[in-house]
Chains A and B, each alone.
Chain A
Amino acid sequence: MNPANVPLSPLVGALALAVCWLIIAAACLVPARNAAFARRFAFPLGALAGLILAAFGLEAVWLPVRTMTLPLGLPDLPFHLRVDPLAGFFLMLLGSVSAGISVYAAGYFRAEASGRLALIGCQYHVFLASMAFVLLADDAYLFMVAWETMALASYFLVITDHKQPAIRSAGFLYLLIAHLGAIAILLCFGVLHGGRGDYSFDALRAAQLQPAWATLAFLLAFFGFGAKAGMLPLHAWLPEAHPAAPSPVSALMSGVMIKTAIYGMVRVIFDLIGNVRWEWGLVVLVIGAGTTLFGVLYALMQHDLKRLLAYHSVENIGIILLGLGMAMVFIGFGHRVAGTLGLIAGLYHTLNHAVFKALLFLGAGSILHSTGLRNLNDMGGLIHRMPKTAFYFLIGALAISALPPLNGFVSEWLTFQTALQATILQNGIVRSLLPLFAATLALAGALTAMCFVKVFGIAFLGRAREPAHPSLPHAGDAGDMERYGMAWLAAGCFVLGLFPTSFLLILNRVGVSLGGQGLSEQALAGSGWLWLVPTAAEQASYSPLIFLVVIVAVTLLAFFLVRRFYHGRARLADPWDCGYPEQTSRMQDTADAFGQPIRHVFGPLYRMERRLPGPEDAAPTYVLKVEDRHWYWLYLPVARAAEFISSKIALLQQGRISIYLLYSFITLIALLVFVR
């Protein structure tokens, strides 16, 4: 027996767990007792499977590559499976993040009606299993089957509340863009395959492409996977579909599903196409920078909490692309070590974003569950009613704002460090461009911080805006299961932030498996559990633990010294607020007011409609509508063109059998002319 195929290798384990998810999905549908099963066991079992899957993924990073051929699929076209460090890393991401979400879902869906619950449980676990198969697939055929299953399962989850027309149209938009992406991916595999009849990834990897064909394959893969990731300008579905889904599903889509698109991008571009060119990197960087800025600027304009989080997913995909783009530039110029650093930065941010964005969506879900509200302007003072949710949400908010010592900062820091390697590049223009992309990242990070000050300040802090929404006074904290789910992800934010070196080493192995060269000896020697050293100790280092310990120690020391030497007296009084007595809670900032400086500074980037009340209005109202420009220059023209073309094609359809027979006859004649 081949030692690569010993039982319970990570590949077998991962396969077994994916099948396990499928079994859970099927069990949810068994008519008898399905409600009880779905309610009590389905989601906790799914979470357990996720945890084990994460462990197998972690193991796979350190073990040699395993492959397997399943006797399934079409005749002569069996399914190939493979797990290498890259797939292992993403399996770890999928397993660990989905574990938290599943635990949360067990609490969140508890009150759901049985029929709906069974359906959600089934679709949810099919969705999980299909993502696992996307990561395990080693041929284009299985990959596309899993990819489409994933799209369909998530589509049905998005339209869970299909009775609302807005949700149906969001689902349609999602399905449409997902399929445009899928077509591009399919074409990309076609280009790579070059007509040799073998669709296994090994064959695609071995293909020697002309530069023009390789570039075409790159563009198809980039935009095909980018459509799923929410990359500009194919992002329009994301802020519609993610809020439409139930919150755990939003968390799963934003946290994990769009990461499978990043996986696909890395797999195809770095692994299958190979021979990365630096020009491709520039394309990725430009689109990544645009996506980053656009995402955060539109997020700042939102007052629907889940839409806002969805726009932040767009932004974070942009940040990941910045890391990957820098990696491609460096690899294209032959600097593999710096390239690996960029790849590490991008993939680290992929994992970080999965953790904190899932956490934030779950927090938004708890607010929605408890108050029924998604509009920030109706909230206020929730920290008093939901202190635990507020605590977890704050951790997520600090993490996404890239504040040390949490995890978002580590990956952005690594991206900055990659940009600072620009001095080794030979091309002067590219060399001076990279720091500018880093500046974009800095701007986006600071804007994100502003956005989450807005979210946390308006939703959780302050007072409820008058007249208080009727559900606010009855709002209670999240239930136990919901809290465990959030606590798991919040702990993830800390672990990823405080022990970055362990993940750096994991990702270094991924980088070695893809690019053949890892980080420098100096970096690996300098990095310990305490220090993160991406290049060399005298160049850059960061120690989040010391960071946290000093801040906490000084904070506590200051607290106890003040207590010890002075008094601890505090008197409660009305807010002072410059002595204006007539204040009401309506005078607090709203979400829209908080975005005003942004609208002022970045005005031309928005499509804004504003109506100010006149001086003589009896009932003055202020109306502000901010819309996505892409709808107007891209989507609507394309939609109109498609409608026009199909209306012309529809002329062919006369609905009379004689006409169709005529068509067949003409076709036959034409074929005879050509084939003769």
Chain B
Amino acid sequence: MSQATAIGFQILQSVFVVLAAPLLVGWVNQCRAWLQNRSAPSILLPYWTLAKLFHKEAVVARGASSLFRATPYILFGCMWLAAGIVPVLATGLPFAPAADIIALVGVFALARVFSALAAMDIGTAFGGLGARREMMIGFLAEPAMLMTLFTAAFISGSTQLTTIVDTLAHREFALHPSLAFAGVAFLMVLLAENARIPIDNPATHLELTMIHEAMILEYSGRHLALVEWAVAIKLFAYMTIGIALFVPWGIAPAGNWGALPLALGALAAKLAVAGAGLALIEALLAKLRLLLAPEFLSTAFLLGVLGMLTHFFVRG
């Protein structure tokens, strides 16, 4: 495989993720509407929302510093990087070794810190409240996330997502009890990190319960569009990390154009199922009280630890 092909694959995948991310959000919203017996909005609605927001004038609060204006772009940059690293369509991409799973968690942490700082920039009560809650979810979720990833890393002997996927995708089908624990833990972390029910509600604007929405209250116009887009890419990236760790079959090796349609089809099918599952979770569960979030996430952490211990003792 020549270097040019590999870089072509890399750019293709990044652009694909960035463009396809709103579609996943649209699909989740559509499924949720069906489950709630509502008539569903178009699956393309997130694109129209983005287009609308880009056309609107941005309203910036007086007293905002340059950090506030720069943050949406930084968030977008972080998420784009994540989209380039996760093996979504192909493994062995040239940028993939630039960050392993630990560094990937670092990218998300970087984005979180910037969005929390931007929330505190205007100096309103809700901004600080959202930032504080978001950072709390962050410190609870990060150890749980790492434990999950460590389990996968111990199984494959590597923290490179590419190697993990290669190991897991090309082995014989075997049930790893450790991966089952890790999978549940990962799902819980995914829900918390992406501000979904039961930790946060992406559809709420009820002030006292919101976390993520409280942080981005002051954004509008193109800034809000970039933030929303980054959020969509983050959800997409998390889902594809989950797919890479737990159901990696069908992914194409980099440079193999022939395997690409199959990889694309497999990915679409898996994401459709995952998105529908997410909508189902959101339709079935109620939002937890904020102060119960520590219990939810420490459960995830314990499951992650159990997964790791299972791997050590059962070798499975």
Contact = CB atoms under 8 A, between A and B. Distances in A.
A453 B312 CA distance: 37
Nearest to B312: A432
Interface residues of B, number: 82
B61 A573 contact: yes
Given A436-B305, A453-B135, A575-B124, A383 B218 contact: no
Nearest to B207: A578
B169 interface: no
A404 B60 contact: no
Contacts of B221: 570
Given A416-B102, A540-B160, A547-B99, A588 B142 contact: no
Nearest to B158: A539
A432 B308 contact: yes
Interface stretch (B29-37, B149-157, B194-202, B272-280): B149-157
Contacts of B142: 442-443, 445-446
A343 to B, nearest CB: 20
A540 B121 contact: no
B63 A463 contact: yes
Contacts of A576: 59, 61, 217-218
Interface string B62-77: 1101010110011011
Interface in B137-167: 138-143, 146-147, 150, 153-154, 157-160, 163
B106 A404 contact: yes
A428 B123 contact: no
Given A404-B110, A539-B163, A554 B65 contact: no
B152 to A, nearest CB: 11
A453 B131 contact: yes
A96 interface: no
A570 B58 CA distance: 5
B236 to A, nearest CB: 16
Nearest to A600: B291
B245 to A, nearest CB: 16
Contacts of A569: 57-58
Interface string B103-141: 100110110110011011111111111011101101111
Interface stretch (A117-125, A558-566, A654-662, A664-672): A558-566
Interface string A448-491: 01101110111001110000000000000000000000000000
Nearest to B137: A597
Contacts of A409: 103, 106
Interface in A558-607: 558-559, 562, 566-567, 569-578, 580, 583, 585, 587-589, 593-594, 596-598, 600-601
B178 to A, nearest CB: 12
B95 A577 contact: no
Contact of A554 (B80, B110, B112, B207): B80
A402 B109 CA distance: 9
Contacts, number: 262
Contacts of A432: 308-309, 312-313
Nearest to A570: B58
Contact of B62 (A461, A550, A575): A575
Interface string B219-249: 0011000100000000000000000000000
Contacts of A439: 143, 146-147, 301, 305
A401 interface: yes
Contacts of A316: none
Nearest to B120: A457
A522 to B, nearest CB: 13
Interface residues of A, number: 85
Given A380-B123, A550-B77, A562-B222, A571 B57 contact: yes
A416 B106 CA distance: 12
A423 B133 CA distance: 36
Contact of A546 (B67, B95, B120): B95
A113 B112 CA distance: 45
A555 B80 CA distance: 9
A398 interface: yes
B78 interface: yes
A333 interface: no
A576 B146 CA distance: 37
Contacts of B45: none
Interface string A52-71: 00000000000000000000
A23 interface: no
A589 B215 CA distance: 13
Interface in A5-28: none
Contacts of A458: 120
A453 B138 CA distance: 12
B287 interface: no
B84 interface: yes
Contacts of B138: 446, 449-450
A597 B138 CA distance: 12
Nearest to B135: A450
Interface string B156-195: 0111100100000000000000000000000000000000
Chain A CB within 10 Å, residue with most, of B69, B81, B123:
B123
A486 to B, nearest CB: 18
B218 A570 contact: no
Given A438-B146, A537-B97, A552-B77, A457 B54 contact: no
Contact of A594 (B61, B121, B128): B128
B294 interface: yes
Nearest to A446: B139
Nearest to B69: A570
A542 interface: yes
Contacts of B282: none
Chain B CB within 10 Å, residue with most, of A442, A588, A594:
A442
Contacts of B269: none
Contacts of B131: 453, 457, 589, 594
A450 B63 contact: no
A457 B133 CA distance: 14
Contacts of A583: 124-125
A420 interface: yes
Nearest to B229: A558
B20 interface: no
Nearest to B133: A597
B57 A570 contact: yes
B217 A449 contact: no
A558 B136 CA distance: 30
A128 B315 CA distance: 53
A541 interface: yes
12 contacts: A438-B150, A446-B135, A453-B135, A540-B159, A541-B160, A543-B97, A546-B95, A554-B81, A558-B76, A570-B221, A573-B61, A575-B122
Interface of A: 380-381, 383-384, 394, 398, 401-404, 409, 413, 416-417, 420, 423, 428, 431-432, 435-436, 438-440, 442-443, 445-447, 449-450, 452-454, 456-458, 461-463, 531, 537-543, 546-547, 550-556, 558-559, 562, 566-567, 569-578, 580, 583, 585, 587-589, 593-594, 596-598, 600-601
Given A540-B159, A543-B98, 20 more contacts: A416-B146, A420-B159, A432-B312, A443-B143, A446-B109, A446-B138, A449-B135, A456-B117, A538-B160, A542-B99, A543-B99, A566-B54, A573-B59, A577-B122, A578-B217, A583-B124, A587-B125, A588-B120, A589-B128, A600-B291
Interface of B: 54-55, 57-63, 65, 67, 69-70, 73-74, 76-78, 80-81, 84, 95, 97-100, 102-103, 106-107, 109-110, 112-113, 116-117, 119-129, 131-133, 135-136, 138-143, 146-147, 150, 153-154, 157-160, 163, 207, 217-218, 221-222, 226, 291, 294, 301, 305, 308-309, 312-313
Q: List the 4 shortest-distance A-B pairs measured between CB atoms, nearest first.
A: A589-B128, A462-B123, A457-B120, A446-B139
